[in-house]
Structure 1
C-alpha cells in the first residue's frame, strides 16, 4: 500500500527525496532538455500559486488543452494540489467538442497550448460564460480573458506557501481528482469522475505485476488526456522515478525513439500495425538470401511462441534456431526502436494476435491490457509472468470480474469511478448493484485470462439473426499489408459489407510493379485490377470463416477516415463514419449479385467527395 493518500502528495513527497535526478525530458530547439525533480516540484507549486491567485476553490474545475509536455503536468498537479478538479481536453478536438466539455464541466480556468487555440476559443467565449480565464502556455494573444503564462506565474508569487500546504494536506483521497471525458464514439462524451484513490490503487496494482524502476525511461506519445497514458504513462512512471521523455508528436515517434532510447513505451495497436507492415514490406522487397533468412527466422520464432503458449517444451534444436534468429535477424528490429526496448504495453483497442505473435517471436514482447475511462485504465493485463496471446490477461490484483448472462463483462474494485459528472441517470445505468457494466462482451478461460469479443453496442446482428463481432474481422483485414484500416457494416442486413482503407504506399508499389497506370489515389482505388487485388486478398483472409461471418462486398476508400471520425486513440467512431458514408454503405446492398458492387470511393477533400 502506498504511503501517499493523494496524487499531489505522492509526486511532491517523492520530489523532495529525488532532488536533482531527472524526472522529465522534452525536446525544444532541436535538442532534448532535462527537468529535474527539484524543478518539477518548483513548477507545480508555482502553478498552484497562480491558480490560488485566481481564487480557484477546492472542487472547481480547471481544464488543460495541450499536447504532452512538462506544462501539462505542472498544470495538472498544480490544480490538484489546491483541491481543484482537472479536466483534460484533447487539443486535436474540434472547437465544438471543446466548448461542450467546457460547458458540461463548468470549468473556470483553461490552460491552452497556443495562441491559435486561444483565438479559436475566444470567438466562442460567449458560450462558456463561466470560463473566467484562459492561461496561454505559449505565444501571445490579446484578449481580456486571456493571460500569458508569465503573468499568471508572476501573479501567484505573493501567495503564502503555508496556505497552499494546508490545502494540499486537507485533500481527501475519496475526492474527485479529475473528470476524464469518454471519447464519445456513439454520442456526446461523458465526464467520468475519478478519485485520487481510484488512480493510486490502479498504479499500485500495475506496479505489483510489472518490474518498472528508476532505471527505466519511457517515451510518452499517446495523449495524456487519455486515461491510459495519464495513469500508466504519467502517474505510474512518476511513482517509481522512471524518466518520462515526451515525443514531439505522434508523427515524430520513429525519430524520437532513436533519440531517447527508451526501455518501455505505452501505445495503441495502430502503431504496432504500422511497424509490422513496414517490416514485412522491407523483408518482402529485399534480396533473395535476406528474405529466406528473415522468413526462416520468423517461422522458427512463431513455432517457438506457439509451443510455449500451449505449455509445451520446445526442442533444443528449435530453441537454438530461435536464439540464432533473434541475434542475427531480429536484432536489427531493435535499432529503429532505440536499441533498449524491454517491452511495450498495448491498450485502447484490440491487438491482432498475429502481430503480437510476430513481436514476441522477435523477442520484443507487447503486453496487451484492457481498461476503460471509468476504471481508471486498469482492469486486466498480460505480464511477463502470465502472458497469453489472444487475451488481455488476468485481472489486476484487487479487481474482480464476472460475466453476465448476455456475455457482458462486469467489474468491481478500487479503481471503479465515482459516476458520471452531473448525470445520475447514466451513472445508475452503468451499474448493476456494485458491479460496473463495461459494455464489452467477453469470456474468462479456465486459467483466468480475459478475452474480449467486442463492444456490446458494436455487435452486428444480421437479418438472419447471427451475432458478428466487427473488431475481429477488422483486425483480420488490417493484418494484410495492403489494408491500413477497415469498418465492417451490416446490422439487420442480409450480409456484411465494409469500408476498406488501403495501405496506399504498398498499393502504389504494386501498381508500378504491375504496370497499372494511375495519376492519383482516386485512380488507384477505382482501377479494376486494384479492386481485384483487394478482393483476392480479402477472400484469402476470410477463407476459413463461415459464410455469415464473411465480408461479401466492400468499398475501397482513397484515404483514411478523417480525424473527426476517429478517437484520439484511433478507434473508429462508427456512428459518425456510418452517417458520413451512409449512401455508399447502402449502395452495396443494391446490386443483385455478390461481388458486383466491389468498388472504389474517391475522397477529394474534406468537404466534397465523388464516387469512382
Structure 2
C-alpha cells in the first residue's frame, strides 16, 4: 500500500466528478455537494492552513458537530501532512483543554462563538495553539479567524505548494490522534497512521457490497473512530453519498428526508427504536396487537431458517409475505423505505433486538472494534452471520485469546501507541499482541463473542463471575426500562440503578389512576416499584440466582452527560462514584426490611 487518505479521496473525486459526495441541510432543505466541489474545498482548506504556517506532522484540532466543513477541515489538514485531532464539542471545557494541550494542537477549528470565547479566555494554558478558526461562515468573534478570512489567506498560497505536500505524504505518516472517551482516567491520544486506517477500510470493502448509488446517514460523532473510519472515510472510499443528520434528535425526521440505503449506529439507537415500536403496538387495540405478534412470530421463524441456511416452506413463505404487507413494510417506511442494512458497533447488541429487526426484514450486522484498531476488526456479514456474536475477524487481523479470555489482536490496523505515553503503550502490548481489555470467546467456526470489558466484570463476594452488560441489555428490552447499570463487585448480591421509561410509566399511571406530582413522586410510588419489580423478575426468571438483581433503585431521570460517553456508553466508575450513597444503601437496606426504592435527583425541578 502506497497511499494516503487524502490522495484516495482526491483520486475518487476525479473518478466520480459528476456524482454527489455529500448532502447537508441548508435553510430547511437538503443540498448536494458534488465530488468536484468536495475536492475544491479540501484544497482551499489545505492552502489556507499552509498560509497559517502549518507544517507536516503538526496537529489540527476540530471541535464541532458532523458537517461538510468538518470533513473539509480534516482532509485539508491531511493534505498538508498534518494530523487531525477530533474533539467532542460537547465535552466540558477542562476535558477539551486537556486534549488541546496534550496534543499540542497548533490550529483549532471551532463551531461556536461561545466555545471559541471560552478557549480564548484560557489561551495561556495552550502555548502551542497559534490559531482559532470558525467552521461556520456566519460566525464572528474578536481574536478568532472567520471562515471567510481564513480561506482568503489561502488564495495567495501557490497551488503547487499544496500539491507538493499531498505528494510527499506517506502511508506511515500520523493521520490522527483520537482521544479515548475516558471511561477511566484522563483520555489518551491513540496514534493512527494513514496505513492503519486504509488497511481497515480495504478489509471492510471486501465484505460489504456498498458503492455509488448508496446513501449513508451520518449522525454518530465524527470524533468517534467508528463513524470516522466506517461512516466517513470508508464511504468516500466506495463512492457512497454521505448525508449529514441535523442532530441525533432529528434522525427520525432526516431518515424520511434522506431515505438512506445504509447506516451505522450504536445499539442505543436500536434499543430506542425497539422501545418506541413496542409501545405503539402494546398501547393499540387488541386486534392490532394480535396481527403484529402473529406477524412477528412468522418473521422470526423465517429468519431462524435463513440463518441456518434453509428456506421457508410454502406456508411460512405466504405467512411472511402477508406479515410484511400488513406490518413490516410500514416499519421499513419509517426508516425511509430504502434501507438495505444497518451496521452496529460500539457496544453489545441484544440478541432479542437483533432478532426482532431481522424478523421485520431489517438486517443489523453487528461488529466489534476499538479506537486502537482503527475501527472494526470483526463483523457479521451477509455471507457469514451468527446472532449473539460480533462476527468473524477481518482478513488482515489476527485474533486470539489470552489464558484469562482477554481478546488479543495483531495486524496492520493496530495503532502505533499512545501519544507521548511510552510506558502505557508498552503495557498495552504482550509479545507484539495488543491487549484489548475485552474478554470473549471464539467458536469453532471462528465467530467471536464478547463477554464484557475485563475491568467491568463483576466478581461477587461468593466468587461468581458476571458480565453486567448482558443483564443490562436484557433489562432494556422491557417497555418500562430505558437504561440500567448493574452493580455488585465484591458484594453478596447484585443491585441495579434503573432508569425507567418515564413516558410509558406516566401512561401506565394515568390508566391505573395513580396520582403523582412529578417524576420524583412517580419513581417512589409503591405501585410503580411493584410494577418494575414484577417486570425485572419476569426477565430474569430463567437466570441463576447469583445473576439476579436482588435490589434496584429507580432514578427520576437518565444518567447525565457527564456519566456517559458521546456514543452513549456508561462511564461505570463515574456512575458508581456519583451514586455511591444510593448503591451502598441498597446493601444496608437488607437488614432493615427495605426493598426496592426510588431516587429523586437534585437537578430535577
Secondary structure at the aligned position of 1:23 is classed as strand
For 2:362 and 2:311, locate their aligned partners in 1 and report how far apart those are by CA, in whole Å.
20
For 1:563 and 1:363, locate their aligned partners in 2 and report how far apart those are by CA, in whole Å.
34
Give the 3 Å change call, closer, same or farther, for CA 353–593 of structure 1 in structure 2: farther
**Residues 51-93 of structure 1: per-residue CA shift (max 9 Å, x gap):** 1011111100000001000000000000000110100001111
For 1:11 and 1:267, locate their aligned partners in 2 and report how far apart those are by CA, in whole Å.
23
For 2:539 and 2:311, locate their aligned partners in 1 and report how far apart those are by CA, in whole Å.
30
Q: Is the Cα contact below 8 Å between 1:378 and 1:415 reproduced in 2? A: no
Give, in angstroms, the shift of residue 595 of structure 1: 7.6
Determine which of 484, 487, 490 is the counterpart of 1:489. 487
Q: Is the Cα contact below 8 Å between 1:118 and 1:141 reproduced in 2? A: no
Runs of 4+ aligned structure 1 residues displaced above 6 Å come to none
Secondary structure at the aligned position of 1:452 is classed as strand
Give, in angstroms, the shift of residue 313 of structure 1: 5.0
Alignment of 1:364-403 (within 5 A): 364-403=362-401
Determine which of 156, 159, 164 is the counterpart of 2:157. 159
Report how many aligned residue pairs link the two structures: 604
For 1:163 and 1:552, locate their aligned partners in 2 and report how far apart those are by CA, in whole Å.
67
For 1:361 and 1:595, locate their aligned partners in 2 and report how far apart those are by CA, in whole Å.
45
Across the aligned residues of Structure 1 and Structure 2, the Cα RMSD in angstroms comes to 1.3
Give, in angstroms, the shift of residue 312 of structure 1: 5.2
> Residue 142 of structure 1 corresponds to which residue in structure 2?
141
Structure 1 position 518 matched with structure 2 position 508: no
Alignment of 1:272-291 (within 5 A): 272-291=270-289
Structure 1 position 212 matched with structure 2 position 210: yes
Determine which of 584, 590, 593 is the counterpart of 1:586. 584
TM-score under structure 2 length normalisation? 0.98
Q: Is the Cα contact below 8 Å between 2:367 and 2:390 reproduced in 1? A: yes
> Residue 448 of structure 1 corresponds to which residue in structure 2?
446
TM-score under structure 1 length normalisation? 0.97
For 1:595 and 1:411, locate their aligned partners in 2 and report how far apart those are by CA, in whole Å.
49
For 2:102 and 2:592, locate their aligned partners in 1 and report how far apart those are by CA, in whole Å.
47
> Residue 199 of structure 2 corresponds to which residue in structure 1?
201
> Residue 291 of structure 2 corresponds to which residue in structure 1?
293
Determine which of 176, 179, 182 is the counterpart of 1:181. 179
For 1:523 and 1:303, locate their aligned partners in 2 and report how far apart those are by CA, in whole Å.
43
Secondary structure at the aligned position of 2:145 is classed as strand
Q: Which moved more, 1:346-355 or 1:119-128?
A: 119-128
Secondary structure at the aligned position of 2:40 is classed as helix
For 1:454 and 1:137, locate their aligned partners in 2 and report how far apart those are by CA, in whole Å.
38
Secondary structure at the aligned position of 1:441 is classed as strand
Give, in angstroms, the shift of residue 605 of structure 1: 1.0
> Residue 347 of structure 2 corresponds to which residue in structure 1?
349
Give, in angstroms, the shift of residue 592 of structure 1: 2.5
Secondary structure at the aligned position of 1:250 is classed as coil
Q: Is the Cα contact below 8 Å between 1:216 and 1:264 reproduced in 2? A: yes
5+ long unaligned stretches in structure 1: none
> Residue 529 of structure 1 corresponds to which residue in structure 2?
527
> Residue 477 of structure 1 corresponds to which residue in structure 2?
475
Q: Is the Cα contact below 8 Å between 1:110 and 1:133 reproduced in 2? A: yes
Give, in angstroms, the shift of residue 303 of structure 1: 2.3
Q: Is the Cα contact below 8 Å between 1:553 and 1:595 reproduced in 2? A: no
Q: Is the Cα contact below 8 Å between 1:63 and 1:102 reproduced in 2? A: yes
**Residues 224-252 of structure 1: per-residue CA shift (max 9 Å, x gap):** 11000000100111111110000000000
For 1:28 and 1:155, locate their aligned partners in 2 and report how far apart those are by CA, in whole Å.
26
5+ long unaligned stretches in structure 2: none
Determine which of 71, 79, 84 is the counterpart of 1:81. 79
